[in-house]
Protein backbone atom coordinates (compact mmCIF):
# COMPACT_ATOMS: atom_id res chain seq x y z
CA UNK A 1 0.00 0.00 0.00
CA UNK A 2 1.37 3.42 -0.95
CA UNK A 3 1.97 5.88 1.88
CA UNK A 4 0.41 9.28 1.26
CA UNK A 5 2.48 12.35 2.03
CA UNK A 6 1.18 14.28 4.99
CA UNK A 7 0.00 17.86 4.25
CA UNK A 8 2.85 19.32 6.27
CA UNK A 9 5.40 17.40 4.18
CA UNK A 10 3.73 18.51 0.96
CA UNK A 11 3.83 22.14 2.11
CA UNK A 12 7.49 21.81 3.04
CA UNK A 13 8.40 20.33 -0.33
CA UNK A 14 6.49 23.05 -2.18
CA UNK A 15 8.23 25.74 -0.11
CA UNK A 16 11.63 24.29 -0.91
CA UNK A 17 10.87 24.00 -4.63
CA UNK A 18 9.50 27.53 -4.91
CA UNK A 19 12.27 29.02 -2.81
CA UNK A 20 14.94 27.20 -4.77
CA UNK A 21 13.54 28.41 -8.09
CA UNK A 22 13.45 31.98 -6.81
CA UNK A 23 16.99 31.68 -5.52
CA UNK A 24 15.90 32.56 -1.99
CA UNK A 25 16.52 29.18 -0.36
CA UNK A 26 18.89 26.29 -0.66
CA UNK A 27 18.31 22.98 1.05
CA UNK A 28 20.13 20.00 2.50
CA UNK A 29 18.84 16.50 3.19
CA UNK A 30 19.86 14.35 6.13
CA UNK A 31 19.01 10.73 6.87
CA UNK A 32 17.55 10.25 10.35
CA UNK A 33 16.22 6.82 11.34
CA UNK A 34 15.99 5.94 7.66
CA UNK A 35 13.88 8.98 6.79
CA UNK A 36 15.04 11.85 4.64
CA UNK A 37 14.67 15.18 6.40
CA UNK A 38 14.89 18.44 4.52
CA UNK A 39 16.56 21.44 6.13
CA UNK A 40 15.74 24.78 4.53
CA UNK A 41 18.59 27.27 4.61
CA UNK A 42 17.83 30.90 3.68
CA UNK A 43 20.53 32.20 1.40
CA UNK A 44 22.37 35.14 2.95
CA UNK A 45 21.94 38.44 1.15
CA UNK A 46 24.43 41.26 0.96
CA UNK A 47 23.44 44.17 3.19
CA UNK A 48 24.60 46.92 0.82
CA UNK A 49 26.02 47.09 -2.70
CA UNK A 50 27.61 50.28 -4.04
CA UNK A 51 28.42 50.36 -7.77
CA UNK A 52 30.75 52.97 -9.26
CA UNK A 53 30.70 53.49 -13.02
CA UNK A 54 33.73 55.09 -14.67
CA UNK A 55 34.11 56.17 -18.29
CA UNK A 56 35.63 55.19 -21.61
CA UNK A 57 38.74 53.20 -20.73
CA UNK A 58 39.80 49.68 -21.58
CA UNK A 59 41.12 46.97 -19.28
CA UNK A 60 44.70 47.45 -20.46
CA UNK A 61 44.53 51.22 -19.91
CA UNK A 62 43.66 50.85 -16.21
CA UNK A 63 44.92 47.54 -14.85
CA UNK A 64 48.61 47.92 -14.07
CA UNK A 65 48.58 51.66 -14.71
CA UNK A 66 50.77 53.47 -12.16
CA UNK A 67 48.50 56.52 -12.37
CA UNK A 68 45.75 54.48 -10.70
CA UNK A 69 47.35 52.97 -7.56
CA UNK A 70 44.12 52.88 -5.54
CA UNK A 71 42.12 51.19 -8.29
CA UNK A 72 44.87 48.66 -8.83
CA UNK A 73 44.99 47.84 -5.14
CA UNK A 74 41.28 46.99 -5.41
CA UNK A 75 42.00 44.70 -8.36
CA UNK A 76 44.45 42.81 -6.14
CA UNK A 77 42.11 42.65 -3.14
CA UNK A 78 38.93 41.57 -4.90
CA UNK A 79 37.61 39.53 -7.78
CA UNK A 80 38.96 41.09 -10.97
CA UNK A 81 36.87 40.20 -14.02
CA UNK A 82 39.64 39.81 -16.56
CA UNK A 83 37.37 39.22 -19.56
CA UNK A 84 34.52 41.61 -18.83
CA UNK A 85 32.90 43.47 -21.71
CA UNK A 86 30.58 46.37 -22.33
CA UNK A 87 27.73 45.69 -24.73
CA UNK A 88 28.02 48.50 -27.27
CA UNK A 89 28.94 52.13 -27.94
CA UNK A 90 28.44 54.95 -26.95
CA UNK A 91 27.98 55.54 -23.22
CA UNK A 92 24.26 55.89 -22.56
CA UNK A 93 23.14 52.54 -24.01
CA UNK A 94 25.64 50.75 -21.77
CA UNK A 95 24.31 52.42 -18.63
CA UNK A 96 20.84 51.24 -19.63
CA UNK A 97 22.18 47.74 -20.34
CA UNK A 98 23.60 47.53 -16.83
CA UNK A 99 20.53 49.04 -15.17
CA UNK A 100 17.68 47.51 -17.19
CA UNK A 101 19.24 44.66 -19.17
CA UNK A 102 18.61 46.47 -22.46
CA UNK A 103 19.30 49.76 -24.20
CA UNK A 104 15.52 50.01 -24.78
CA UNK A 105 16.13 51.32 -28.28
CA UNK A 106 18.46 54.10 -27.14
CA UNK A 107 21.55 54.07 -29.34
CA UNK A 108 22.96 57.58 -28.80
CA UNK A 109 23.91 59.85 -25.90
CA UNK A 110 20.97 62.17 -26.54
CA UNK A 111 17.96 62.43 -24.24
CA UNK A 112 15.61 59.48 -24.91
CA UNK A 113 12.42 60.44 -26.73
CA UNK A 114 10.22 58.94 -24.02
CA UNK A 115 10.16 57.89 -20.40
CA UNK A 116 10.23 54.14 -19.85
CA UNK A 117 7.97 52.00 -17.68
CA UNK A 118 10.08 48.89 -18.20
CA UNK A 119 11.16 46.83 -15.20
CA UNK A 120 14.71 47.64 -14.09
CA UNK A 121 17.05 46.96 -11.20
CA UNK A 122 15.61 49.74 -9.04
CA UNK A 123 11.95 48.89 -9.65
CA UNK A 124 12.62 45.20 -8.96
CA UNK A 125 14.46 45.94 -5.72
CA UNK A 126 11.61 48.13 -4.51
CA UNK A 127 8.98 45.60 -5.61
CA UNK A 128 10.71 42.94 -3.52
CA UNK A 129 10.97 45.10 -0.41
CA UNK A 130 14.53 46.38 -0.84
CA UNK A 131 15.78 49.92 -1.45
CA UNK A 132 17.68 51.81 -4.13
CA UNK A 133 19.25 55.20 -4.81
CA UNK A 134 21.34 56.73 -7.56
CA UNK A 135 23.96 59.30 -6.53
CA UNK A 136 25.30 61.55 -9.30
CA UNK A 137 28.11 63.97 -8.58
CA UNK A 138 27.11 67.43 -9.74
CA UNK A 139 23.38 66.71 -10.00
CA UNK A 140 21.92 70.23 -9.50
CA UNK A 141 19.06 69.08 -7.27
CA UNK A 142 17.09 66.02 -6.19
CA UNK A 143 15.00 64.67 -9.06
CA UNK A 144 16.69 66.82 -11.72
CA UNK A 145 15.83 65.64 -15.24
CA UNK A 146 17.75 68.20 -17.29
CA UNK A 147 20.72 67.43 -19.55
CA UNK A 148 24.28 68.56 -18.90
CA UNK A 149 25.33 70.96 -16.19
CA UNK A 150 28.56 72.47 -17.48
CA UNK A 151 29.21 74.13 -14.13
CA UNK A 152 29.22 70.87 -12.16
CA UNK A 153 30.20 68.32 -14.80
CA UNK A 154 26.95 66.37 -14.47
CA UNK A 155 25.82 64.46 -17.59
CA UNK A 156 22.32 63.04 -17.92
CA UNK A 157 23.55 60.32 -20.30
CA UNK A 158 25.38 58.73 -17.35
CA UNK A 159 22.23 58.59 -15.21
CA UNK A 160 19.96 55.74 -16.40
CA UNK A 161 17.38 55.78 -13.57
CA UNK A 162 16.23 59.28 -14.55
CA UNK A 163 14.60 57.74 -17.63
CA UNK A 164 12.08 55.55 -15.78
CA UNK A 165 8.62 56.51 -14.52
CA UNK A 166 8.68 53.56 -12.09
CA UNK A 167 11.70 54.98 -10.24
CA UNK A 168 10.76 57.84 -7.93
CA UNK A 169 12.50 61.19 -8.60
CA UNK A 170 13.30 61.18 -4.87
CA UNK A 171 15.79 58.38 -5.56
CA UNK A 172 17.67 60.51 -8.11
CA UNK A 173 20.12 62.17 -5.74
CA UNK A 174 23.24 64.35 -5.85
CA UNK A 175 26.38 62.72 -4.47
CA UNK A 176 26.26 65.19 -1.58
CA UNK A 177 23.37 63.04 -0.30
CA UNK A 178 25.58 59.95 -0.02
CA UNK A 179 25.30 59.11 3.70
CA UNK A 180 28.29 59.46 5.98
CA UNK A 181 26.76 56.69 8.10
CA UNK A 182 27.09 53.84 5.62
CA UNK A 183 24.55 51.74 7.51
CA UNK A 184 21.94 54.19 6.17
CA UNK A 185 22.76 53.37 2.55
CA UNK A 186 20.03 51.72 0.48
CA UNK A 187 20.32 48.05 -0.41
CA UNK A 188 21.82 48.86 -3.82
CA UNK A 189 23.13 52.21 -4.99
CA UNK A 190 24.96 53.57 -7.98
CA UNK A 191 27.53 56.34 -7.67
CA UNK A 192 28.38 58.23 -10.85
CA UNK A 193 31.27 60.73 -10.61
CA UNK A 194 31.07 63.87 -12.70
CA UNK A 195 32.91 64.07 -16.01
CA UNK A 196 36.05 65.46 -14.38
CA UNK A 197 36.27 62.49 -12.01
CA UNK A 198 35.10 59.53 -14.12
CA UNK A 199 38.01 59.79 -16.63
CA UNK A 200 35.69 61.19 -19.31
CA UNK A 201 37.26 64.65 -19.27
CA UNK A 202 39.75 64.34 -16.41
CA UNK A 203 42.84 62.19 -16.05
CA UNK A 204 43.16 58.66 -14.71
CA UNK A 205 45.02 60.04 -11.68
CA UNK A 206 42.22 62.53 -10.94
CA UNK A 207 39.66 59.73 -11.05
CA UNK A 208 41.81 57.49 -8.87
CA UNK A 209 42.32 60.25 -6.31
CA UNK A 210 38.58 61.05 -6.26
CA UNK A 211 37.65 57.42 -5.77
CA UNK A 212 40.08 57.03 -2.88
CA UNK A 213 38.98 60.27 -1.22
CA UNK A 214 35.26 59.57 -1.51
CA UNK A 215 34.77 55.79 -1.42
CA UNK A 216 37.69 54.25 0.48
CA UNK A 217 35.80 54.77 3.74
CA UNK A 218 32.85 52.75 2.48
CA UNK A 219 35.11 50.05 1.02
CA UNK A 220 36.83 49.50 4.38
CA UNK A 221 33.50 49.63 6.24
CA UNK A 222 31.97 47.12 3.82
CA UNK A 223 34.59 44.51 4.70
CA UNK A 224 33.26 44.41 8.27
CA UNK A 225 29.57 44.87 7.48
CA UNK A 226 28.58 42.23 4.93
CA UNK A 227 28.59 44.75 2.09
CA UNK A 228 29.99 44.88 -1.42
CA UNK A 229 31.77 47.43 -3.61
CA UNK A 230 31.76 47.14 -7.40
CA UNK A 231 33.95 49.25 -9.67
CA UNK A 232 33.20 49.06 -13.39
CA UNK A 233 33.28 51.07 -16.61
CA UNK A 234 30.55 51.88 -19.11
CA UNK A 235 32.66 51.07 -22.20
CA UNK A 236 36.23 51.12 -23.39
CA UNK A 237 37.86 53.68 -25.68
CA UNK A 238 35.49 52.94 -28.60
CA UNK A 239 37.33 49.84 -29.76
CA UNK A 240 35.53 46.88 -31.31
CA UNK A 241 36.58 44.60 -28.43
CA UNK A 242 35.03 46.77 -25.69
CA UNK A 243 36.87 44.97 -22.88
CA UNK A 244 36.55 46.92 -19.63
CA UNK A 245 37.99 46.66 -16.10
CA UNK A 246 35.63 45.50 -13.37
CA UNK A 247 36.28 44.39 -9.80
CA UNK A 248 34.15 43.26 -6.85
CA UNK A 249 35.46 43.84 -3.31
CA UNK A 250 33.86 42.66 -0.09
CA UNK A 251 33.96 39.98 2.62
CA UNK A 252 31.80 37.65 0.52
CA UNK A 253 34.09 37.89 -2.52
CA UNK A 254 36.64 35.26 -3.45
CA UNK A 255 39.84 37.18 -4.33
CA UNK A 256 40.64 35.97 -7.81
CA UNK A 257 41.34 36.85 -11.40
CA UNK A 258 38.20 35.51 -13.05
CA UNK A 259 38.92 34.55 -16.64
CA UNK A 260 35.52 33.54 -18.06
CA UNK A 261 33.83 36.01 -20.38
CA UNK A 262 31.30 38.28 -18.63
CA UNK A 263 29.49 41.51 -19.43
CA UNK A 264 27.01 44.11 -18.12
CA UNK A 265 24.19 41.58 -18.26
CA UNK A 266 26.21 39.07 -16.22
CA UNK A 267 26.87 41.67 -13.54
CA UNK A 268 23.20 42.67 -13.43
CA UNK A 269 22.19 38.99 -13.15
CA UNK A 270 24.63 38.53 -10.26
CA UNK A 271 22.96 41.34 -8.31
CA UNK A 272 19.46 40.11 -9.15
CA UNK A 273 20.23 36.62 -7.89
CA UNK A 274 21.49 37.98 -4.58
CA UNK A 275 18.07 39.39 -3.77
CA UNK A 276 15.77 36.94 -5.54
CA UNK A 277 14.67 39.54 -8.10
CA UNK A 278 13.00 38.93 -11.43
CA UNK A 279 15.49 39.04 -14.26
CA UNK A 280 15.11 42.11 -16.45
CA UNK A 281 15.92 42.38 -20.13
CA UNK A 282 18.81 40.29 -21.38
CA UNK A 283 19.95 39.42 -17.86
CA UNK A 284 17.56 36.47 -18.06
CA UNK A 285 19.84 34.97 -20.73
CA UNK A 286 23.06 35.69 -18.81
CA UNK A 287 24.76 33.71 -16.07
CA UNK A 288 25.64 35.10 -12.65
CA UNK A 289 29.35 35.58 -12.05
CA UNK A 290 30.48 32.91 -9.52
CA UNK A 291 32.89 34.99 -7.46
CA UNK A 292 30.74 35.34 -4.32
CA UNK A 293 31.17 32.92 -1.43
pTM of the model: 0.87
**What's the half-sphere exposure (Cβ side, CA atoms, 13 Å) at 123?**
20
Query: Is the pLDDT confidence value at 73 over 90?
Result: yes
Instruction: Give the tens place of pLDDT for each residue, 183-204.
Output: 999 999 999 999 999 999 999 9
pLDDT band of residue 255 (cuts 50, 70, 90) is very high
Q: Please, which pLDDT band fits residue 29 given cuts at 50, 70 and 90?
A: very low
Confidence of residue 43 (pLDDT cuts 50, 70, 90): low
| CA–CA distances in Å: residue 15 to residues 24, 138, 174 | 10, 47, 42
| Percentage of the chain exceeding pLDDT 90 | 84
CA distances from 17 to 5, 204, 275, 277 (A): 16, 48, 17, 16
Q: How far apart are CA 229 and CA 264, in angstroms?
A: 16
Say what the pLDDT of residue 293 is: 87
pLDDT at 111 over 70: yes
Reply yes or no: is the peptide bond before residue 90 cis, omega within 30 of 0. Answer: yes
Binned at pLDDT 50, 70 and 90, residue 82 comes out as: very high
Over residues 189-244, the pLDDT tens digits come to 999 999 999 999 999 999 999 999 999 999 999 999 999 999 999 999 999 999 99
Mean pLDDT of 47-60: 98
Higher pLDDT, 257 or 42: 257
**116 pLDDT higher than 80:** yes
Given a cut of 90, is residue 88 above it in pLDDT?
Answer: yes
Q: Using CA atoms, how far apart are residues 200 and 92, in angstroms rounded to an integer?
A: 13
pLDDT value at position 44?
55
For the packed helices 69-77 and 204-224, what is the interaxial angle rounded to 10 degrees? 40
Distance, CA of 258 to CA of 246 (rounded, Å): 10
CATH code linked to domain 48-285: 3.40.720.10
Residue-range domain boundaries for the chain: 7-42, 48-285
Amino acid sequence: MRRLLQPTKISLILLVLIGTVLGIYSYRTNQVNGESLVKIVKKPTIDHIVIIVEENHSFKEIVGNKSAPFMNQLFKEGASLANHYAIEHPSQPNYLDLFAGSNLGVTTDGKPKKTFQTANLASELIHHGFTFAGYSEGLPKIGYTGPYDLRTGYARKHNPWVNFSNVSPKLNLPFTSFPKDYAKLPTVSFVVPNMDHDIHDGTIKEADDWLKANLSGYIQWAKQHNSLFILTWDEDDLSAKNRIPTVLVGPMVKPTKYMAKTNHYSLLRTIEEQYGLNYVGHSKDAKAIPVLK
